[in-house]
Amino acid sequence: MDSLTHIALGACVGEAFFGKGFGKKAMLWGALAQSAPDIDFVAGFWMSIPENLLAHRGFTHSLLFAALISPVLAMAAERIHRPRNIRFSKWLIFFATEVFLHLLLDGFNNYGVGWFEPFSHLRVSFNAIYVADPLFSIWPGIAVVMLFLINSFNRRRRFWWRFGLFIPFFYLGICIFNKTRIDREVTGILREQAIPYSRYFTTPTPMNNLLWYVVAGNDEGYHVGFRSLLDSRKKIDFKYFPRNDSLLDPVKGHPDLHYLMRFSQQFYTVEKWGDTLVFNDLRFGQVLGWKYPREKFVFHYFLDRPDGNELVVQRGRFAGWNRSELSYFIRRIKGD
């Protein structure tokens, strides 16, 4: 999830744990705890971009990190708020809940989370909700504003923290249901269209949970398409992208390539743009791909131009968007 959503959810959890009278202080602690795993942004100051891609949501998003940071935060909070009668055990449960919740929610996006670092480099990604879905994030945002505005002893505070937690998690449940449904439909379509694949994934397109981006293929290449849950046809208009591993021969020893391939979880293609060698990570979608199926992929890394990779993961995500393109996007969400 995006940082603002984590902060808002953390504040609501803080209010839920400590209730009236102490709520606003607990909200601040909750926002801090929910933000703690994202301390990995500091790594970007001295790591290369490919290294930082793996460091982000790596060790600081692991179960081990959660187990280590929770008692540290609990001891700090317990000492700061003495002599208030809040047991260390309650602080510990509170911070553990906050940090584990952050790790869990990030696992539902498509970036990948290193829950088992440093013992395993497996990246967990359920691909069930877009990283910034307004229908998930708006409710805790509203709740936090109201909780800061009303008095610490106001009886309405219970309503607002419930509003900020129950609605987004109900929506997440809908997203999980949509994910299981789209996967069932896609695997059936792949079988009916006789598309060979050894791996596939589906993930939501920006800011909604109805239109899904689909990638299926193997070491030779990938079929890329889109499917809305409202589509009537049992068919996906796939476009094929060869992986082109042979283009990597001149740079096989390049350290950046090792990190990029590991980060991509094998969902990558390689292209030549003029004289520039480009590595595409397919997991992050295409720029307006639902309308322009041969459009470039959002994540593209210039292997022989490292100075041109300041922004990689969301490069051009909303390039070309205007009123007309937004209207087409909405129509595509509504189905074919």
pLDDT value of position 21 = 63
**pLDDT above 70: percentage of residues in the chain:** 97
- Which pLDDT value is given to residue 277? 93
Least confident of 29-38, 150-159, 301-310: 301-310
- Give yes or no for residue 151 having a pLDDT over 70: yes
Residue ranges per structural domain of the chain: 3-174, 195-333
End-to-end CA distance of the chain: 29
pLDDT of residue 311: 65
Mean pLDDT of 168-178: 98
How far apart CA 198 and CA 216 sit, in angstroms, is 8
pLDDT tens readout for residues 227-262: 999 999 999 999 999 999 999 998 888 888 999 999
Dig out the tokens for 55 from the structure: 């460091």
Nearest partner of 214 among 130, 223, 206, judged by Cα: 223
CA 209-213-215 angle, 5° bins: 145
Query: Quick check: 85 pLDDT over 80?
Result: no
**Residue 55: half-sphere exposure toward Cβ, Cα within 13 Å:** 14
Rounded to an integer, the average pLDDT of 210-231 is: 98
C-alpha 143/C-alpha 154 separation (Å) is 14
Q: What average pLDDT does the segment 209-213 reach?
A: 98
pLDDT for res 312: 67
Which pLDDT score is estimated for 217?
A: 97
Taking Cα atoms as reference points, which of 285, 279, 311 lies closest to residue 298? Answer: 285
173-178: average pLDDT: 98
d(CA 131, CA 56): 14
pLDDT value of residue 195: 97
Type of residue numbered 12: C
Residue 261: the pLDDT is 94
Q: Is the pLDDT of residue 317 over 90?
A: no
How far is Cα of residue 231 from the mean position of the Cα atoms in its chain? 25
Q: Is the pLDDT confidence value at 6 over 70?
A: yes
pLDDT over threshold 80, residue 10: yes
Burial category of 234 from C-beta neighbours within 10 Å (exposed 0-12, middle 13-18, buried 19 and up): exposed
pLDDT digit string (tens) for 28-82? 999 999 999 999 988 878 888 889 999 999 999 999 999 999 999 999 999 998 8
Annotate the chain with three-state secondary structure.
Answer: CCHHHHHHHHHHHHHHHHCCCCHHHHHHHHHHHHHHHHHHHHHHHCCCHHHHHHHCCCHHHCHHHHHHHHHHHHHHHHHHCCCCCCCHHHHHHHHHHHHHHHHHHHCCCCCCECCCCCCCCCCECCCCCCCCCHHHHHHHHHHHHHHHHCCCCCCCHHHHHHHHHHHHHHHHHHHHHHHHHHHHHHHHHHHHCCCCCCEEEEEECCCCCCEEEEEEEECCEEEEEEEECCCCCCCCCCEEEECCHHHHHHHCCCHHHHHHHHHHCCCEEEEEECCEEEEEEEEEEECCCCCCCCCCEEEEEECCCHHHCCCCCCCCCCCCCCHHHHHHHHHHHCCC
> What pLDDT, on a 0 to 100 scale, did the predictor assign at position 23?
64
Mean pLDDT rounded to a whole number for the chain: 93
Name which of 197, 190, 184 is nearest 282 in CA terms.
197
Q: Which residues contact 193 (CB under 8 A, 6 or more apart)?
A: 235, 236, 238
What's the pLDDT tens digit per position in 88-134?
999 999 999 999 999 999 999 999 999 999 999 999 999 999 999 99
**Total-model pTM:** 0.93
